[in-house]
């Protein structure tokens, strides 16, 4: 066996034929392949880009965190250096002693002593000395001011005289408390308490400021006070964060435990236009923007309907304040509502959150281009598929019209069509003749309205299978072809007789001898088919013709092998139906109803027994109001013996032969058509029908005379209805 004749080879051949005949399949295949490739490639690229972005964001955040920690440590070291300077300590001790003296005066001295100016003069002198000592340190280390506090958080000296004497200032208390416990602290930026100049030279309160504060200790290393050195955040703190930027939309910023931004955003001008920042000169985001989610993209025109303080923190800020570091490259909304990817962390020792973010649109710009390109190609392919499909439909319609015109012209290649003599589920049968041979021929055409891959295959299969059978009781095929217009046809011997359905309907039930004579010939045809591993699957009266041919009468021809099934499963692949209900319900075996794929030769014998029953009695084996009920009777109900219906007239041998074919169990039926033929040959009626009787019957039939047979009691009126129902399917 060559590869072409294997099931795989046949499948490939059919696929190639399908693709050749249906050009619009190619764009569809291309669409499917492009979809698979596009989705796979997109996912691979997206995964790679996300991993790279995740790595970039985390690396940048780590670098920014390390730089910021280093800067904090450097500032803390500077503050400790200043706090441990001998001259600074001596001046601070004198101020702290003077402050104690002043406290004693205020708390216990007589009123006359309060007016003394000596302590105030001494304190002023000492403070001037401290400022003189600190001046070089402040200048070299970019500190813009200072203050000194005692253990009670009373400010005993300050670069801003308005602070001196104040105690427990709320803005200072969070870091002063920790410093007086012995720790050096760098505060987060907060609004200034007193007037201070900003970077534009304007003096006002509420400007962003921060302090690095170190404890002052006595000779016993006990904390006796603290010195706080003032920093301007925008000089170094914000500059360090601004170094961490990716692309045009990337930024790194810090925020405190309340979600307030404590460094500048790179989008200050945009934030003013969005209404997030106040529209005034030199307006900045530091301390003025809350890192909250507006729930939609404000840069695209969205305006929230609630105040910013009522909005939830962004996903990033909420996670960081809770102490959870993380990276999100899938996208979340930032304080503008713009989808961003970001990495964040929380620095608990500084009570500070740090994040680096970039707009998702920019981060995945390459992926967006790829996606657009893919959709453009996808759209072009879809348009091509639609165009080719429309073209195919137009061509198919033109071909159909051409086929119809060819049939109306009554000329198919070498054959001339004379008249329509029949129609079935798949096609139409015409009587015609060969142009050269002038031989009467039956020509079966595939219905122009049912031309598709499945119908063509079934049509071809019917021809090919019938051509394999040579028995004289099997209809013979002369020719098979396809016209230029696409009309499929095959030519077979013309039978001018009558099918068994019409025979009974017109002339009533048939005598037992004639029934046996007909069945013996049908058994011969089926035995050949079964021996080749083929099952007819649609044996019924309408598919068995009774003819007068070659000078002989009652010549049987078995027709319509279109539903034939190969018993061998390997042969069956690609040859027959899909396992659905196939056949005519009045003559179907129980297994054909219950398990259609399991039918074998004995199923045909059941159907032949049902045909015999119909010929003998003029009635179908079972009758019902609907197909479901009829099928159920075939599966469950025992048939009424023919003799019981006829009141005798049928020998026990013939009745046993017919009823054995109608057994529910295949094992109880004749196992082959030859076994059935042998049973029929032994029946007493076998000798009752002779050639002379057949010739006499056909002589009257051909002359159109009335043929009198014993009338049937009731020819099943539902016979043709069920046949037509199932043929249509």
Note if the pTM is more than 0.75: no
Distances (CA, A) of 28 to 15, 380, 412, 616, 712: 14, 11, 35, 57, 60
What is residue 582's predicted lDDT score, i.e. its pLDDT? 55
What is residue 202's predicted lDDT score, i.e. its pLDDT? 78
Burial class (CB in 10 A: 0-12, 13-18, 19+), 606: buried
What is residue 566's predicted lDDT score, i.e. its pLDDT? 54
Main-chain dihedrals φ then ψ at residue 40, nearest 5 degrees: -65, -50
Q: Which residues pair with 416 in a beta bridge?
A: 411, 433
* Strands 223-231 and 145-150, sheet pairing: antiparallel
User: What SS3 class is residue 81?
Assistant: helix
CB 680 within 8 A of CB 657: yes
Distances (CA, A) of 610 to 169, 458, 624: 111, 26, 15
Could you tell me where the beta strands, DSSP code E, fall in 238-351? 251-255, 326-333, 339-347
Q: Which residues pair with 491 in a beta bridge?
A: 443, 479
Query: What is the C-alpha separation between 16 and 39, in angstroms, rounded?
Result: 27
- Residues with Cβ within 8 Å of residue 378, at least 6 apart in sequence: 31, 34, 35, 38
Residue reference for tokens 């056949």: 583
607-636: b (≥16 Cβ within 10 Å) or e:
bbbbbbbbbbbbbbbbbbeebeebbebbee
Residue reference for tokens 């000492």: 126
Among 105, 103, 97, 145, smallest CA distance to 122 is for 97
Please report the domains of the chain, with CATH numbers, ordered by start residue: 69-231 (3.30.450.20), 245-363 (3.30.450), 496-728 (1.10.510.10)
What are the DSSP calls for 358-388, one per residue?
EEHHHHTHHHHHHHHHHHHHHHHHHHHHHHH
Query: What is the C-alpha separation between 445 and 430, in angstroms, rounded?
Result: 8
What is residue 706's predicted lDDT score, i.e. its pLDDT? 55
Angle between helix axes 652-661 and 601-617 (nearest 10 degrees) is 140
- pLDDT averages per 10-residue partition of the chain, 729 residues: 52 53 64 79 86 94 94 94 90 81 48 47 82 88 92 92 90 93 94 84 86 92 94 90 89 95 93 92 90 95 92 96 95 96 95 95 86 81 78 75 64 80 75 84 76 71 79 87 74 87 93 95 94 89 90 89 54 41 80 89 94 94 91 93 87 94 94 95 92 90 61 37 39
What is residue 402's predicted lDDT score, i.e. its pLDDT? 66
């Amino acid at each position: 066996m060559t590869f072409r004749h294997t099931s795989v080879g046949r499948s490939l051949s059919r696929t190639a034929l399908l693709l050749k005949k249906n050009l619009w399949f190619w764009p569809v295949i291309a669409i499917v392949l492009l979809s698979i490739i596009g989705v796979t490639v997109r996912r691979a690229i997206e995964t790679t880009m996300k991993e790279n972005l995740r790595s970039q964001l985390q690396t940048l955040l780590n670098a920014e965190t390390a730089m910021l920690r280093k800067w904090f440590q450097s500032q803390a070291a500077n503050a400790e250096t200043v706090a441990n300077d001998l001259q600074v300590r001596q001046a601070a001790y004198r101020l702290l002693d003077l402050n104690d003296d002043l406290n004693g005066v205020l708390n216990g001295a007589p009123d006359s002593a309060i007016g003394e100016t000596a302590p105030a003069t001494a304190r002023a002198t000492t403070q001037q000395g401290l400022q003189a000592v600190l001046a070089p340190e402040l200048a070299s280390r970019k500190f813009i001011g200072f203050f000194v506090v005692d253990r009670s958080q009373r400010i005993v000296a300050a670069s801003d005289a308005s602070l001196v004497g104040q105690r427990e200032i709320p803005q200072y208390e969070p870091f002063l408390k920790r410093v007086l416990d012995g720790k050096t602290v760098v505060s987060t930026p907060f609004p200034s308490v007193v007037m201070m100049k900003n970077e534009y030279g304007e003096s006002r309160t509420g400007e962003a400021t921060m302090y690095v504060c170190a404890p002052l200790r006595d000779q016993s290393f006990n904390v006796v006070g603290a010195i706080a050195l003032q920093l301007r955040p925008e000089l170094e703190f914000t500059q360090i964060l601004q170094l961490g930027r990716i692309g045009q939309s990337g930024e790194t910023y810090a925020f405190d435990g309340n979600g307030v931004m404590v460094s500048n955003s790179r989008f200050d001008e945009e934030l003013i236009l969005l209404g997030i920042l106040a529209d005034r000169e030199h307006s900045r985001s530091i301390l003025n923007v809350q890192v909250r989610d507006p729930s939609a993209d404000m840069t695209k025109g969205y305006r929230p309907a609630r105040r910013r303080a009522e909005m939830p923190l962004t996903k990033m800020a909420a996670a960081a304040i809770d102490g959870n570091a993380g990276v999100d490259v899938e996208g979340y909304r930032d304080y503008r509502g713009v989808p961003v990817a970001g990495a964040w962390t929380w620095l608990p020792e500084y009570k500070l959150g740090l994040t680096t973010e970039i707009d998702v649109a920019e981060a995945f710009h390459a992926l967006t281009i790829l996606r657009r390109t893919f959709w453009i190609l996808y759209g072009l392919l879809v348009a091509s598929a639609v165009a080719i499909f429309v073209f195919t439909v137009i061509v198919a319609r033109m071909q159909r019209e051409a086929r119809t015109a060819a049939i109306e012209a009554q000329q198919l290649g070498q054959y001339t069509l004379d008249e329509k003599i029949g129609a079935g589920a798949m096609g139409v049968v015409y009587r015609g003749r060969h142009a050269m041979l002038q031989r009467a021929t039956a020509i079966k055409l595939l219905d122009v309205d049912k031309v598709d891959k499945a119908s063509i295959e079934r049509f071809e299969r019917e021809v090919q299978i019938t051509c394999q059978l040579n028995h004289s009781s099997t209809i013979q095929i002369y020719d098979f072809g396809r016209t230029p217009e696409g009309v499929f046809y095959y030519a077979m011997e013309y039978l001018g007789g009558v099918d068994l359905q019409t025979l009974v309907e017109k002339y009533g039930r048939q005598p037992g001898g004639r029934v046996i004579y007909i069945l013996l010939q049908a058994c011969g045809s089926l035995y050949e088919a079964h021996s080749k591993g083929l099952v007819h699957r649609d044996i019924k009266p309408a598919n068995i013709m009774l003819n007068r041919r070659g000078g002989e009468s009652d010549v049987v021809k078995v027709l319509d092998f279109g539903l034939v099934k190969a018993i061998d499963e390997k042969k069956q692949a690609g040859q027959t139906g899909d396992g659905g209900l196939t056949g005519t319900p009045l003559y179907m075996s129980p297994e054909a109803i219950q398990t259609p794929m399991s039918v074998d030769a004995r199923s045909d014998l059941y159907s032949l027994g049902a045909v015999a029953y119909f010929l003998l009695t003029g009635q179908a084996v079972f009758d019902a109001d609907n197909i479901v009920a009829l099928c159920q009777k075939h599966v469950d109900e025992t048939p009424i013996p023919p003799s019981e219906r006829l009141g005798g007239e049928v020998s026990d041998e013939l009745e046993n032969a017919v009823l054995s074919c109608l057994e529910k169990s295949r094992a109880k039926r004749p196992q082959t058509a030859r076994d059935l033929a042998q049973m029929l040959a032994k029946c007493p009626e076998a000798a009752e029908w002779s050639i002379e009787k057949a010739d006499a019957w056909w002589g009257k039939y051909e002359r159109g005379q009335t043929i009198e047979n014993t009338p049937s009691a009731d020819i099943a009126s539902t016979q043709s209805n069920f046949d037509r129902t199932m043929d249509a399917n």
